[in-house]
Amino acid sequence: MVGLAAALLAVVVIGLTRDDQRDALPAAPTAPASAVDGTAATVPGATTAPGATAPTGTAPGPAPSTSVQDAPPSTTEFVERVDLPAGVVLSVPAGYGAERVGDGIEITNGDVLLYTEVGQRPPGEDPVVALQEYVDSFDGIYDAAVYSQTVPTGADTTGPLPVDGYVVHYRVLDVDGRGYRGVLEVTRRADGLVYVSDLYVAIDHPGEPALPAGTFESFYASFLSAPAVGPAVELPPLGVAELRTVHPRHVIDGAAAVAPPPGWAAEVPEPGRATYTRSDGARIAVARIGDATEPAVAQQLAAAEIERMAPGATLSGFTPVSAVGSVAAYDTALEAVAFGVTRSGTARLWVDTASGAVVVAVADAPAGVVVAQAQVAFVVEHLHLALAAPR
């Protein structure tokens, strides 16, 4: 196998692979490994507990606008410096261990995990190509998977060469309940230098993952200032795109889409609607239900839709969940009795006060039927990121 460093010297076109073996999956996840240069990476099983790492140090967002000279000061103690190709350095914070996996580096504290790899692509190539190659290498080994649209991070011109890239949220889940949720980030530089990073945690991990302050920022600053690996080109603009997947995908609104959890059947979808059911009567339904710029009007539309889905439903009342930009989200509990069967569950409403888009998701089941939160979150929380996450 040709290593990444050798591939850099040979200026090989890079391609990402994650060589997970489903039957060999241990209780802890195997690290999503890749070969950013097109060489196949052999992925050993991870020896660490499931964890995640935000490619920007916290929740994903635009790439940090820093350079080595003005990188933010940090009180984090770093215990090791790991050399990556092309002069890029990853500093390992105290409490974390580092291990080479495939052609990249994995760091973890036993809970939070970051895999990152640096390599070279043709200058100016859309980084979605590298990202798709990475996703292709693990997408099919899980019973279900869902990905957000690619969100451009915006151009950063604070380094010697301009950079830009994408962020993608994803969830993968197996029938046995094991799964992971994470954030992929791919960033290209004008000379073709690229990094791919993967943040992931066990799907039932509480809260949002985060690295110690300055960890990813220092890596990003090192990537910005690393020596040029070739001539630079003007970077073509990036736009929102959809990653390919072998799993079903149902569009709800624009680029926002959902997929059924493993073991759930998808009813024949209508435009802007998706309904997933189980044989025990459990249901998760999502619909783009109308247009309203006032939250009160949107709540009335949602109540009417919930009544259609669950006749006679009683709602506890919509309570705010989040408000990001023009999108507000609300939750309510619901209970309904129809044909002598009591159903209970929750609903989430999203309203975009700028565009007027109103979307509602309902997760309910007959009394006594248990639905794992990870299965509900596979649909609802993923859709929340697509509709209401910061851009």
- The verdict on 221 and 345 lying in the same domain is no
For residue 201, being part of any structural domain is answered with: yes
For residues 70 and 64, give the distance between their C-alpha atoms in angstroms, rounded to a whole number. 11
In angstroms, what CA-CA distances link 141 with 126, 144, 179, 232? 26, 9, 11, 37
Which residues have CB under 8 Å from 339's CB, separation 6+? none
- The verdict on 50 and 174 lying in the same domain is yes
pLDDT in tens, 201-242: 888 888 777 889 999 999 999 999 999 999 999 999 999 989
Which residues have CB under 8 Å from 23's CB, separation 6+? none
- The verdict on 221 and 265 lying in the same domain is no
For residue 304, being part of any structural domain is answered with: yes
Distance of CA 157 to the CA centre of its chain: 25
For residues 272 and 71, give the distance between their C-alpha atoms in angstroms, rounded to a whole number. 44
- The verdict on 186 and 308 lying in the same domain is no
| Model pLDDT, residue 51 | 28
For residue 242, being part of any structural domain is answered with: no
For residue 235, being part of any structural domain is answered with: no
| Model pLDDT, residue 246 | 97
User: What amino acid is encoded at 133 in this protein?
Assistant: E
- The verdict on 68 and 213 lying in the same domain is yes
For residue 196, being part of any structural domain is answered with: yes
- The verdict on 212 and 260 lying in the same domain is no
For residue 212, being part of any structural domain is answered with: yes
For residues 325 and 329, give the distance between their C-alpha atoms in angstroms, rounded to a whole number. 11
| Model pLDDT, residue 74 | 64
Low pLDDT (below 70) residues in the chain: 1-74, 389-391
CATH number, domain with residue 86: 3.40.1000.10
- The verdict on 193 and 132 lying in the same domain is yes
**DSSP H helices in 11-122:** none
Beta bridge partners of 97: 108
Q: Tally Cβ neighbours within 10 Å of residue 366.
A: 14
pLDDT in tens, 241-269: 899 999 999 999 877 899 999 999 999 87
Backbone angles phi, psi at 90, to 5 degrees: -115, 120
| Model pLDDT, residue 68 | 36
In angstroms, what CA-CA distances link 225 with 86, 103, 122? 10, 21, 19
3-state helix, strand, coil in the chain (%, to 5): 15, 35, 50
- The verdict on 46 and 185 lying in the same domain is yes
For residue 61, being part of any structural domain is answered with: yes
Look at residues 210, 225, 240 and tell me which one is the last residue of a structural domain. Answer: 225
Q: Tally Cβ neighbours within 10 Å of residue 316.
A: 12
- The verdict on 288 and 367 lying in the same domain is yes
- The verdict on 128 and 64 lying in the same domain is yes
Which residues have CB under 8 Å from 24's CB, separation 6+? 30, 45
Strands (E), the chain: 78-83, 89-93, 97-101, 104-108, 113-120, 144-147, 151-152, 163-173, 179-189, 193-202, 250-253, 256-258, 265-266, 273-277, 283-291, 314-315, 319-324, 327-338, 341-352, 357-366
- The verdict on 174 and 88 lying in the same domain is yes
| Model pLDDT, residue 40 | 28
- The verdict on 61 and 129 lying in the same domain is yes
**Using an 8 Å Cβ cutoff, are 166 and 131 in contact?**
yes
**Using an 8 Å Cβ cutoff, are 17 and 35 in contact?**
yes
For residue 233, being part of any structural domain is answered with: no
Range of the domain at 278: 250-388
Q: How many domains are contained in the chain?
A: 2
